Structure 1
């Protein structure tokens, strides 16, 4: 055993203790000094650990995982260990899964439940630190029974809660034609209705603009239709009045359907014709507005719209006020932009140019004297 002194690759001086045959010691010492000194090496490892902790915390936030409990250092270490466990289980090879299935009867669904169980219930940093040397298969074998029992109880509770929600969300009309319930669902940009095959139901949803998408009757929500809640309430109200029970989970929308307090759909609109600076006038309320709209200056019939150039915006605005038409945002933007163009346009007072008096050559000739006229005679 002997101490050798030298300079590490990071430039710091130091010494290393080398043991073994004397003939090999210098070679071993040279290899050691090709590395970073212990202090620099520790700094790099610490930076790597901090980066891994940061990345693991960000992923935990994305996955909405619960916070871990323990000391600051324990948590910093455990979040990385937990993330490593997640990645190893999620990336298990098919052969590993087949072995678990054959030897222990563990299915792919069981593996998913075990992982979910650990992530939901194991919030102590110590849990992951104590198991830091576990192969990912051991996590699965250790927690399988607890995970299956946990989800069995949870699913039972979820089913009971779902049944309670369905009961609260369902209303029956006094005079109903069926005991089957129409389920009405909606989101920001759609309303959907699900029901068994029924011709009367089909007529109602079609009359309100719904179409079959292969799974349910749906309607797309746009600026012209009004809110999804109002359209869902309108459908619910119509169905109740026709004797159909309905189910709407949103309490406010359900009440609007019962009371009929939804905002009616506006069916007269003035929009912007695509790629052109023209208004597009349309109506879907069954009225005959064609001749009235065509009386606007510069109007044209461009099926299914009557269109008018933006330069006639004042007349179009007056038309909208008289006949209860609404402008879409794109039409308003086009109109406001045109107004700005007019405001910024150069206004000039052109100089009037007097037209020169047209010369009458014959008249001048006649007035010039008889002698000239005589010269013209043959």
Structure 2
């Protein structure tokens, strides 16, 4: 075993051990890089302790706010199923909060018992799906993901018989069997990646979570009442929706960029402001932390009612607004509040677009090309007419000479 000592990213002295079978460092640069990404033993313990506390608080709040559906069946079946369900919920909550047992180990028991469930190998499929859910996650993140998974299953089950069929007398085994049966009956796809990830800043303002997710091309941001979050959402052009009780924004991928980039940008800014964020796409975790996204381009030239529409943040750049208003025929549209310029003035618009980094959308480019073609045709007609007139009046030297002879004679 090789041991290295150095200064960790937390500023404390630490140790990195290369165990047997692991590849050793090849240069001092690799050693320095490893220490820059490592915490000392004490800081690792403190971080893990903090994450566990945040996780337990989150899970406790989730179960306290849990609203379970009414069960269907006979009166006796419903009473029996409710008792089983309550026992599992109580066991789950207490086990997570008190650390009596790891929820991950309960679920991963499916890997051991999977083949015994049926002959179709569903046990292995469920185990593979669970592996993907908890893969590359910290212990706290695993607990969050598994707790959310269990809650989502409880919300989907409406038949009392399903609880009765998995009754074993042991809440732990019942939980395992219930999850397995739910995965198979609801046809949960074992190839799906985990549905969300929770990211916490180093010094979170509090334990509450800002939830960011998308449906189709609309991004939503659910948050408790907070002026900082409100300010960030408004600055990123999100609008408050009373019906959804969330900030939302409809993304035009041709103008605003991809949904993933816009989601990453919003999550990164809220995270940097000191808030815990939950995002429905775990693949964005590293990008959110590292601010790895394509910046949104906010200056566009489009078409509206037969004119070029100049779209940008007017309040932030009054000098650009003044420059465009100098173009002949430029007016402010009452509905859109953007500037409208006649397409025939495209030369001046193109000059300002180059100067202020504007982009033309496909439709505006198409209309400009039409105007160019029309103007070129007109110029060609005028040029052809001029040449014809000039040619018709042009005489050869012999013709002029003959005319002069005729006049003299």
Query: How high is the TM-score relative to the length of structure 1?
Result: 0.48
Q: Which has the higher contact order (CA 8 A, sep 6+)?
A: 2
Q: State the structure with more CA Rg.
A: 1
